[in-house]
């Protein structure tokens, strides 16, 4: 079987849904702590995200920016690439916005279609109108740079006790955000495609009036 391209992985994961992925992670890989929790939600119910995480960690330290800091931020921005999902650990800062409309515009030019913020987001009205797939915990008009600073990027982070490493797949919709470890992204992708096909067949059988015994006869389908 040919290895799927990154574009195919992103497309396939966007077409699946978080419960299918968590079932696979739970029961086939014994990974039972991959959901990012109930607080991070899309700005609109139809928003979806899938792709390799580009991790960024902010800390609650408003130290004035140095020349070295500005250089690091510029290098981070240059490192953003197609299909990546910027994923931000804000250190649970309660009064700052870590993403805005200009970042959406910048990322779209880089082939990035969504981001995940464990914290505040600015310019929510404009982001909604633009349709950028933004997941966050709350809206906030306050500027992050005067309240926080970037500690690192493309290093492992934790969001709600879930480990996220650069390249791990972040997948989500209104049903929740799930992290798929990069080592098994392809395996989970194929298993998700199989599970979707099985569930589509189950739906067909239900609509055709099949009994529970008929639906579950081969042991691969359930309700």
> Model confidence over 4-38: pLDDT tens digits?
999 999 999 999 999 999 999 999 999 999 999 99
pLDDT at 64: 84
Beta strands 133-136; 114-118: pairing state: parallel
Cα atoms found within 13 Å of the Cα of residue 24, Cβ hemisphere only: 23
Q: Domain spans of the chain?
A: 6-194
Helix (H, G, I), strand (E, B) or coil at 102: helix
Instruction: Read off the pLDDT of residues 124-183 as tens digits, 9 standing for 90 and up.
Output: 999 999 999 999 999 999 999 989 999 999 999 999 999 999 999 999 999 999 999 999
Phi, psi (degrees; rounded to nearest 5) at 4: -70, 150
Which pTM value belongs to this model? 0.91
Rounded Cα distance between 141 and 115, Å, is 18
For residue 223, pLDDT over 60 is answered with: no
Q: Return the percentage of the chain with pLDDT > 90, whole number.
A: 81
* H helix count then E strand count, the chain: 7, 12
Averaged pLDDT score across all residues of the chain: 93
User: What CATH code is assigned to 6-194?
Assistant: 3.50.30.40
What would the two tokens of residue 65 be?
């920016």
Region 180-187 average pLDDT = 98
Question: Distances in Å between the alpha carbon of 165 and those of 55, 57, 88, 89, 178?
Answer: 7, 12, 12, 12, 13
pLDDT band (50, 70, 90) for residue 121: very high
């Amino acid at each position: 079987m040919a290895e799927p391209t990154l574009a195919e992985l992103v497309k396939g994961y966007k077409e699946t849904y978080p419960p299918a992925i968590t079932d696979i992670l739970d029961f086939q890989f014994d990974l039972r702590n991959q959901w990012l929790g109930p607080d991070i939600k899309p700005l609109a119910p139809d928003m979806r995200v899938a792709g390799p995480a580009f991790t960024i960690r902010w800390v609650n330290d408003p130290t004035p920016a140095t020349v070295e800091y500005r250089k690091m931020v510029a290098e981070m921005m240059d490192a953003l690439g197609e299909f990546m999902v910027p994923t931000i650990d804000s250190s649970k800062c309660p009064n700052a916005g870590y993403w805005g409309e200009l970042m959406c515009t910048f990322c779209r030019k880089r082939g990035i279609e969504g981001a995940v913020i464990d914290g505040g987001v600015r310019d929510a009205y404009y982001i909604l109108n633009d349709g950028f797939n933004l997941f966050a915990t709350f809206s906030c008009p306050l500027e992050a740079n005067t309240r926080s600073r970037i500690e690192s990027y493309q290093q492992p982070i934790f969001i709600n006790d879930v480990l996220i490493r650069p390249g791990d797949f972040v997948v989500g919709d209104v049903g929740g955000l799930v992290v798929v470890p990069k080592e098994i992204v392809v395996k989970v992708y194929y298993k998700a495609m199989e599970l979707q096909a099985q569930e589509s067949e189950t739906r067909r059988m239900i609509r055709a009036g099949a009994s529970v015994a008929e639906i579950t006869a081969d042991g691969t389908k359930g309700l």
